[in-house]
């Protein structure tokens, strides 16, 4: 059996349009925001240095799952997490546990992380993003 995970293998092409982040926020989280998205694009020391993506690396086992006290984060097969929002107490332990800052916590302490749905991919005009298959 295979699962798919989101990857950002061609970020050297990124032009910083934020279309992926805005798509995730709009379609997955019903939000208008740069931040409340599973993938977030940042410049790194100003726009002269290009862009980096903050997104889930699909860890397995995922350290954010291990620290979650309420099982709001559950290990996803193939890597990453399944999020049960109604169980989340907004403690932020997952945010601290993530080694690549892939989890965002807004001012209301709600957390946002990539669920590897791939809805952002088609909005990238530069083909930076790709869903890849992983065997489980």
Partner 1 sequence: MMRDHFRVLLYDLTVGKGKYVNLDGRNSAVGGSGLAALLYSQYGQPQLPWNDPAQPLIFAIGPLTGMFPLMSKTVCAFKSSYHNQYTESHAGGRMAVALAFAGLDALVLTGRAPRLSCLGIGTHAMELKDVEFLRGKDASVAGKMMRKIFNAGSGHRSLLRIGSAGERGSSMACINVDTYRHFGRLGGGASMGVKNLKGLIVQGDGDYSLLDSKEYVSVYNKVYSQMTDTRMMTKYHDLGTAANMQSLNDIESLPWNNLQKTSDAGIEAISGNTFAEETLLRNGACSACPVGCIHIGYIREKVGEEHRYHYHQVPYDYEPIFAAGSMLGVKNAFDVLRILDVMELGCIDVMSGGVALAWATEAFERGLITTEQTIIPLAFGDSGNYVLAAEHLCNGTNDFYALLSQGTLRASEKYGGSEFACVLGQEMAGYATGELFFAAQALGFRHSHLDTGAYSYDQKHSEKNVEAGVKFLMEDEPGRVFLTSMVACLFARSVYSDEQLAECLESVGYNEIAASIPAVSEQIRKERWKVRIATGFHPDHIDIPKRFYSVKTWKGDVDKEYLDELKQEYGRRIMFLMDDK
Q: Judged by CB under 8 A, does residue 88 bind partner 1? A: no
Tokens of residue 10, six digits: 């061609």
Nearer to partner 1, 79 or 104 (CB): 104
Q: Does 26 bind partner 1 (CB under 8 A)?
A: yes
C-alpha distances (whole Å) from 95 to each of 30, 91, 101 are 21, 9, 7
The number of residues that bind partner 1 (CB under 8 A) is: 31
Of the ranges 11-19, 59-67, 76-84, 86-94, which one interacts with partner 1 (CB under 8 A)? 11-19
Region of residue 16 (left: phi > 0; alpha: psi -120 to 50; beta: else): left
If one asks whether residue 43 binds partner 1 (CB under 8 A), the answer comes out as yes
70 binds partner 1 (CB under 8 A): no
CB 16 to partner 1: min, Å: 6
| Nearest alpha carbon to residue 38 among 104, 130, 123 | 104
135 binds partner 1 (CB under 8 A): no
CA 20 from chain centre, in angstroms, equals 11
Q: Which helix (H) or strand (E) holds 20?
A: helix 19-23
Length of the chain: 136
Give residues in contact with partner 1 (CB under 8 A).
Answer: 15-19, 22, 25-27, 30-36, 40-48, 50, 106-107, 123, 125-126
């Amino acid at each position: 059996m295979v699962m798919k995970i989101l990857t950002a293998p061609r970020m050297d092409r990124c032009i910083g349009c934020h279309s992926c982040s805005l798509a995730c926020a709009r379609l997955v989280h019903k939000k208008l925001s740069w931040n409340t998205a599973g993938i977030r694009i940042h410049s790194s020391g100003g726009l002269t240095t290009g862009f980096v993506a903050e997104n889930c690396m699909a860890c397995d086992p995922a350290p954010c799952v291990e620290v979650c006290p309420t099982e709001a984060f559950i290990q996803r097969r193939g890597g990453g997490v399944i999020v049960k929002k109604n169980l989340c107490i907004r403690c932020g332990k997952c945010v601290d546990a993530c080694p690549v800052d892939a989890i965002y916590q807004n001012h209301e302490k709600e957390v946002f992380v990539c669920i590897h749905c791939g809805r952002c991919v088609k909005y990238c005009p530069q083909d930076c993003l790709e869903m890849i298959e992983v065997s489980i």
